[in-house]
Amino acid sequence: MSNAEANLAALPARDQAPIASQLESGEIVLSFVECDLDENLHFTRTLVVLTDRHIFSHSDNTPVRSWKLTDCASLKLSLHGALAQLELFGTNSRLTHWRLTAHVVASARKLVRKWDAHRQGIEETSQESVCPSCGAPMPMDRVKCEACTPKPVTKKYGALFRLLPFAKPRMGLVIAGLCLAFMSTGVSMIATYQSKPLTNSIANPLSEGKDVDPSLIRYHLGLLAGAAILAWILGWARSFCLSRVSERIAADLRNRTYGHLHKLSLEFFGGKRTGDLMSRLSSDTDRICDFLTLNLVDFITDVMMMAMTAGILLTINPKLALASLVPFPIIAWLVHKVRQRLRRGFRLMARAWSEMTSVLADTIPGIRVVKAFAQESREVARYRKSNETILEANDRVNIVWAVFGPTLTLLTELGLAIVWACGIALLIRKEALSAGDLILFTGAIGRAYTKLESLSYMAGAIQRSSASAQRIFEILDRVPSVSEPVRPVEPGVLKGDIQLKNVCFQYGNRRVLHHIDLKIAPGEMVGLVGQSGAGKSTLVNLICRFYDVVEGSISVDGHDIRSFPISAYRKNIGVVLQEPFLFYGTIADNIAYGKPEATREEIVTASRAAGAHDFILRLPEGYDSVVGERGQLLSGGERQRISIARALLIDPAILILDEATSSVDTETEREIQAALETLIQGRTTIAIAHRLSTLNRANRVIVLEAGRIVEQGPIDELLAKNGHYSRLHAAQFEATAPVSSDEDADEDDDESSDE
């Protein structure tokens, strides 16, 4: 097959014949995109095909349209929120346009790149690159490798059945528990079965004045007592085994979920509320634990009890056994209906609880802001509203239970009445049924109905725990967007040679970085400046691999960072965030967070370098002082200096300062800058700064604007250019310059004239 035929075969089958009929001899298809919107933004399908001579457009039931490339000047793709537009321009005007959703944007970008490459006469020497994670071939226009990218989990079973793999490590204990349950249930049936000989052989003869052998009485009563004691022992052992398994399944589930949360990228946490995640890890796992520990054990026992009871009933009298089944179809239908409503109700309850937990997670850490703006009553109202939502959800579930419970009791009582009526009828007809048989039968069926009611109520427990399990597996099924490499390359101690090639990135459909090319030498200090939203923090996040690039690549010491194990790579990076975060604990624990095995001497050395040692010694407990939740007992500047010490303690090859001195006063800033002057030696440093004075020691400054590098170079050169950096510098200097004496004099004159 020729290249032209192969490229044509890549088109959708229904478009191949119409497009082929328009191709000239030797014309080659370069790329195509299936646009999915029409002029009125209704979903429709239009194929746009780029060849080396034409652009074709084909919709279903319409003829193919074409434009010669010699008549075309440019092809542009523009984004508008969740929508996009592909426009073809001639020399003087727009020739046509196509509309599409964000789902198709990647293919549209590929087509535009092919257009640009063809117009510039660039020949693509290779259509494939190599995945940095697994080494598999990968198309040049893709960043995610199909071979090693984790696939979403296929849900084959219900949420509760998906808990079974957690029980596999303890299958021996599970089997032992089930055997004990079977034995304890069988022993407990002895008491029911003894009602027949006690009635026929002891009670009836005694009531008729006949003598009964005392040893027979002692035998049956002893059998009852022995069965009760043995059933108690077996029941205790059963509960111990199954409860032990259940508790460990729930603990493993919590550990697995929390561990998986840490594997997810920042993208996941950006779309979730803290209170919702806390509710899933605490309330939902606790609800599952209760179900496994209490309800499931009872469920297993009740099922065994009913199976054994059914066997006894069939041996006594098959006709009565059939009569006892009359309520079962109605009960089964009722349970099915209730189950559907309970499932919806418990899902609503879980969401309502998450919402209320989220209110607490928002308000308590931000209590200082709440009080500063006198919004206590507003926050109380928010909490009350969330609590009312929970109350409404509970009321809906309770209404169902209020109808279901008495109805179930009524049906079982009617079933027992039917059994008595049929039994009396059989006695009247003198059929093979004794009074002892009837008492045994009614006792057994009464016990079975009781267990049936218990099993029916299990529908609520199952639906409640199923809703919780589903919320847990929503986290476990989430595939990390930043995944571990399949064939990892251990980074060891990096030098810090950073290179960005054609890096692009977008949040959702909003592109924030455009074709960034940047090389940072080992030991170089680079400053990133620009207006808010220019992409500075995003660029740093990509270097830290908090996110993966959409296009292009980032390499450190010649290796794509996607080939490094994430944890091993980040151990080479020290980060000081714009908003310092401290954990509840001592100052020493917070400084040593990245290196828990650090000695006190290493901790003190790092704090001295960060200018934190003096204020720490002034605290009552020194380095053992507790900082409070999120470090609320310290000032903003003190928290920032501890954060700097925490980053310096790990002695990183790459140091990232995200507005590291924005929370400190001028004098403290000088102290930190003096410390950083020594610390940046031999260490690649990237500093984000709005306060340009903090970049005086930078070897180079990168100016970002709208996600693009617009200037870079030493500070003196950038100031001499009178470009973007010069304007930023002048604007900041004017904003901080003191009021001149002439202005003061004018103000004094104005005041005197007013007087």
Count the Cβ atoms, other than its own, within 10 Å of residue 563: 21
Report the C-alpha gap between 195 and 309 in whole angstroms: 14
Q: Is residue 111 part of a domain?
A: yes
Q: Residues of the chain with pLDDT > 90: what percent?
A: 10
CATH number of the domain encompassing residue 200: 1.20.1560.10
Residue 125 has pLDDT above 50, yes or no: no
**Residue pair 416/320 in contact by the 8 Å Cβ criterion:** no
Report the C-alpha gap between 587 and 591 in whole angstroms: 6
Instruction: Give the CA-trace dihedral at 107, 112, 116, 118, to 10 degrees.
Output: 60
- Per-residue pLDDT band for 157 (boundaries 50, 70, 90) equals low
Span 630-643, mean pLDDT? 78
Report the C-alpha gap between 47 and 425 in whole angstroms: 80
pLDDT in the model for residue 542: 92
- 695 secondary structure, DSSP code: G
**Residue pair 641/668 in contact by the 8 Å Cβ criterion:** yes
Top mean pLDDT of 86-90, 399-403, 573-577 is at 86-90
Residue 244 and residue 355 share a domain: yes
HSE value, Cβ hemisphere, 13 Å, CA-based, for 715:
15
Q: Which residues contact 613 (CB under 8 A, 6 or more apart)?
A: 604, 607
Q: Residues of the chain with pLDDT > 70: what percent?
A: 84
Rounded to whole angstroms, what are the CA distances from 291 to 115, 287, 394?
A: 60, 6, 19
Boundary (domain end) residue, out of 96, 124, 152: 124
Q: Name the least confident of 123-137, 178-192, 452-466, 504-518.
A: 123-137
Q: Which residue has the tokens 């075969």?
A: 9
Residue 109 and residue 191 share a domain: no
**Residue pair 340/348 in contact by the 8 Å Cβ criterion:** no
Q: What are the tens digits of pLDDT across the range 506-542?
A: 877 678 898 899 999 998 999 999 888 888 888 998 9
Mean pLDDT across the chain: 79
Span 199-219, mean pLDDT? 76
Beta bridge partners of 46: 35, 59
Q: Is residue 253 part of a domain?
A: yes
Q: Name the least confident of 25-39, 247-261, 345-359, 571-585.
A: 345-359
Higher-confidence residue of 732 and 564: namely 564
Q: What are the tens digits of pLDDT across the range 260-272?
A: 888 887 777 776 7
Taking alpha carbons only, the member of 306, 315, 322, 324 closest to residue 437 is: 315
Residue 427 has pLDDT above 90, yes or no: no
* Count of residues making up the chain: 755
Q: Is residue 754 part of a domain?
A: no
HSE value, Cβ hemisphere, 13 Å, CA-based, for 589:
11
**Residue pair 206/212 in contact by the 8 Å Cβ criterion:** yes
Distance spanning both ends of the chain, measured CA to CA: 96
Residue 18 has pLDDT above 50, yes or no: yes
pLDDT in the model for residue 740: 46
Report the C-alpha gap between 388 and 379 in whole angstroms: 14
Top mean pLDDT of 90-94, 143-147, 322-326, 365-369 is at 90-94
Domain that holds residue 115: 3-124
Residue 30 has pLDDT above 80, yes or no: yes
Instruction: Give the CA-trace dihedral at 105, 108, 109, 115, to 10 degrees.
Output: -170
Span 359-376, mean pLDDT? 72
Beta bridge partners of 595: none
Q: Name the least confident of 171-180, 457-466, 604-613.
A: 457-466
- 665 secondary structure, DSSP code: -
Q: Name the least confident of 273-277, 511-515, 709-713.
A: 273-277
Residue 722 and residue 644 share a domain: yes
Q: Is residue 751 part of a domain?
A: no
Q: Is residue 135 part of a domain?
A: no
pLDDT in the model for residue 337: 73
- 694 secondary structure, DSSP code: G
Residue 294 has pLDDT above 90, yes or no: no
pLDDT in the model for residue 752: 43
Span 145-159, mean pLDDT? 57
Residue 390 and residue 328 share a domain: yes
pLDDT in the model for residue 150: 57
Report the C-alpha gap between 591 and 171 in whole angstroms: 44
Residue 447 and residue 368 share a domain: yes
Residue 680 has pLDDT above 80, yes or no: no
pLDDT in the model for residue 675: 62
Residue 119 and residue 168 share a domain: no
Residue 133 has pLDDT above 60, yes or no: no
Span 174-202, mean pLDDT? 78
CATH number of the domain encompassing residue 650: 3.40.50.300
Q: What is the CA radius of gyration of the chain?
A: 38
Higher-confidence residue of 430 and 402: namely 402
SS3 688: strand
- Per-residue pLDDT band for 155 (boundaries 50, 70, 90) equals low
- Quick one: how far is CA 735 from the chain centroid? 43
Residue 180 and residue 49 share a domain: no
Domain count, the chain: 3
Top mean pLDDT of 137-141, 359-363, 526-530 is at 526-530
HSE value, Cβ hemisphere, 13 Å, CA-based, for 401:
15
| pTM exceeds 0.75 for this model | no
Tell which phi-psi region holds residue 122, choosing left (phi > 0), alpha (psi between -120 and 50) or beta: beta
Residue 722 and residue 605 share a domain: yes
- Per-residue pLDDT band for 720 (boundaries 50, 70, 90) equals confident
Residue 570 and residue 689 share a domain: yes
**Residue pair 50/38 in contact by the 8 Å Cβ criterion:** no
Report the C-alpha gap between 427 and 165 in whole angstroms: 53
Q: Name the least confident of 32-41, 283-292, 416-425, 728-737.
A: 728-737
Span 395-413, mean pLDDT? 77
pLDDT in the model for residue 131: 61
Residue 3 has pLDDT above 60, yes or no: no
| Sign of torsion over alpha carbons 221, 223, 226, 229 | negative
Residue 386 and residue 293 share a domain: yes
Q: Name the least confident of 521-525, 534-538, 625-629, 667-671.
A: 667-671
Residue 425 and residue 330 share a domain: yes
Q: Is residue 148 part of a domain?
A: no
Q: Is residue 518 part of a domain?
A: no
pLDDT in the model for residue 555: 92
Report the C-alpha gap between 64 and 81 in whole angstroms: 30
- Per-residue pLDDT band for 1 (boundaries 50, 70, 90) equals very low
pLDDT in the model for residue 500: 93
Report the C-alpha gap between 622 and 348 in whole angstroms: 49
Residue 167 has pLDDT above 90, yes or no: no
Instruction: Give the CA-trace dihedral at 279, 285, 290, 293, to 10 degrees.
Output: -170
pLDDT in the model for residue 50: 92
pLDDT in the model for residue 678: 62
Q: Which residue has the tokens 């321009």?
A: 89
Residue 459 has pLDDT above 90, yes or no: no
- Per-residue pLDDT band for 373 (boundaries 50, 70, 90) equals low
Span 432-451, mean pLDDT? 71
Which helix (H) or strand (E) segment is 414 a member of? helix 376-428
pLDDT in the model for residue 689: 81
Tell me how far apart the 2 most distant CA atoms of the chain are, in Å. 130
Q: Which residues contact 167 (CB under 8 A, 6 or more apart)?
A: 174, 245, 249
pLDDT in the model for residue 286: 81
Q: Is residue 752 part of a domain?
A: no
Residue 55 has pLDDT above 90, yes or no: yes
Residue 217 and residue 112 share a domain: no
Top mean pLDDT of 173-182, 201-210, 350-359 is at 173-182
Q: What are the tens digits of pLDDT across the range 319-332?
A: 777 777 777 778 77
